[in-house]
Structure 1
């Protein structure tokens, strides 16, 4: 099961029938409300409920459990279609949304997802005509951000690129290397290392001999922490950087102060004060998918209202509009992906990651 892991649309996408011309809005929320992902689904649902309450949405929320499965996604879609919802927000798992989208396309109901990151979900828009709009970053957004942010940040530094041999690590490293070459920059050292060792003294020695002052590590938090520790033990000043894996739980070896991370912000750190107050008033912690769920629902509600006012379809409105949300203004590109760049460069201060200005 594949889980978890923004301009006008092509003509096929504009063929969705107008929906929700009445003032009342029926908002469908499709999320895993049972099984192993139920906690995340409840977070999304709480966000959507908060959006509806804080925006005085006229109408009702219809909840559907996707169970994070293909069968559950199709069953949820059929139930929401039967209940005649105007627009749907939700989905965390690829299997569930891919089985639901053909049904929503036939019914003319667009979907705004804050959770599914699989790139092909929107890449196949021209072929499928699926009415999907995604505020979650694409699966390939992290590696593109690594390349963009670090090439600019390390332009005057002697940097190395190493990876742990996994698909994840290698893709991050290779994308950075290719971007550096396009910018006429050459790393002083490129290598694949053996992960999950008690020490990385050998790798640290090779990086020092190559003259690297900075190194990107396509690997997990533990390996990056160990490499940094071993470099310090050699009196070798080495700045390390990694991807979102650095957000993982603390490793046995503490992460070094100054370690860089290309990753997503904590949503509560960029959320509007109004959204945080609405959540606090409802006694909801802004954890996990609460704020993305809230933002997705804000977009859906605003699009439904605008479409009713203009006499157009919600799908057309989502395609061409820009929407103010709890986590910033969001619009969608021709594929249905959010145009906003959420990834940032952070530096570890010994306790937490702080954005690099």
Structure 2
């Protein structure tokens, strides 16, 4: 009898312990060519959870983070989402890639799990109408307008190539940019796809040079962008490289080396420069980690969720969704709020240039 009572007591204690913690997930490319950005998402989420717990957790419960690797792949993203749902996550920070976030969002909707992407910019993510889906980044239709206008204003009389990698993110961004460029009365000389994942793009660059392309707009990820601009500089080909928000990562500069100099790209206003983020940035740097790219967006997504749970007074999905739609949130990203689709009410794209080994706002 004593053994039975002891076993019951242990089971009861384990159940109480399980009930005393809230499980959330962070999902992104933790391995593969985009592992650098997956690390940014993970580190942002880890620090946010540590600081949420240090302040007492949510609703008096500690938060535990589970990391899921989706490899920036649609099928693996679905598998990662199912694993997080099976683990009991009530909220997921993710995914990084639009092509991962969009299929995963269906799994989260069916399971009643909140999803806040820190970085998926393709409009379709929130245009699907899933009430549980939000993002703390801006959209590619606004980014494409920004890029298309700049191309038309500065290189409207030059030969422009628009290339994309065929992914949801890359093709979507290239198409939005092309659309705005064409609205402005400028036609691109070349519009085509390229194969992602190669080690060398000298043949593609040579083809652009042979046709007199002066400006290359790339819809795709920073790894290929870096290899292309490096191939161009190796040929002494002064093509102007322009790309999107994925170029905002230190790894682009490491891969491209000196060839990165002068590369232009659009990115959201760098949250590292926000007064609200100063303390968090200092803590990251004290830990020898530079919170560039989407690190602080991952942190901000966790902040928004914790504040929304506090305002709702509940972890129940419908109540948290209502709190997200009805309130403003003070975060490392500044004060933000959401529209009825789950998008930020203010879309804020900024031009950056790679200069002396880092990216800085363009003057």
Aligning the two structures, in what range does the TM-score lie when normalised by the shorter sequence?
Answer: 0.5 to 0.7
Measure the CA separation in 1 of the matches of 2:29 and 2:181. 45
Measure the CA separation in 1 of the matches of 2:150 and 2:334. 24
For residue 341 of structure 1, report the CA deviation from its aligned partner. 3.1
Runs of at least 4 residues off by over 6 Å: 281-284
Confirm or deny that 1:113 pairs with 2:127: no
Correspondences of 1:168-247 after superposition (within 5 Å):
172-183=173-184, 185-187=185-187, 190-192=189-191, 196-197=201-202, 200=205, 203-204=208-209, 206-207=211-212, 216-217=217-218, 220-227=225-232, 230=235, 239-244=240-245, 246=247, 247=249
Measure the CA separation in 2 of the matches of 1:34 and 1:153. 31
Q: TM (normalized to structure 2)?
A: 0.65
User: Residue in 1 aligned with 2:298?
Assistant: 293
CA RMSD of aligned residues (A): 4.2
Q: Is contact 1:117-1:136 (8 Å) kept? A: yes
**Selected match of 1:314 from 320, 324, 349:** 320
Confirm or deny that 1:133 pairs with 2:134: yes
Correspondences of 1:1-357 after superposition (within 5 Å):
27-31=22-26, 36=31, 39=39, 42-53=42-53, 55-57=55-57, 58-64=60-66, 66=68, 68=70, 69=76, 70-80=78-88, 88-92=91-95, 93-94=100-101, 96-104=104-112, 110-114=114-118, 119-125=123-129, 129-138=130-139, 141=140, 144-152=142-150, 154-155=152-153, 157=155, 158-164=157-163, 166-167=165-166, 172-183=173-184, 185-187=185-187, 190-192=189-191, 196-197=201-202, 200=205, 203-204=208-209, 206-207=211-212, 216-217=217-218, 220-227=225-232, 230=235, 239-244=240-245, 246=247, 247=249, 248=252, 250-251=254-255, 254-255=258-259, 257-263=261-267, 268-270=272-274, 272-279=277-284, 286=291, 290-308=295-313, 313-357=319-363
Three-state SS of the structure 1 residue aligned to 2:259 is coil
Three-state SS of the structure 2 residue aligned to 1:262 is strand
Measure the CA separation in 1 of the matches of 2:345 and 2:150. 21
Could you tell me which runs of 5 or more consecutive residues in structure 1 were left unpaired when the two chains were aligned: 1-24, 82-86
Measure the CA separation in 2 of the matches of 1:34 and 1:263. 20
Instruction: Count matched residues.
Output: 307
Q: Which has the higher contact order (CA 8 A, sep 6+)?
A: 1
Q: TM (normalized to structure 1)?
A: 0.66
Q: 1:31 to 1:332 in 2, by over 3 A?
A: same
**Hey, which of these two has a bigger chunk of helix by percent?**
2
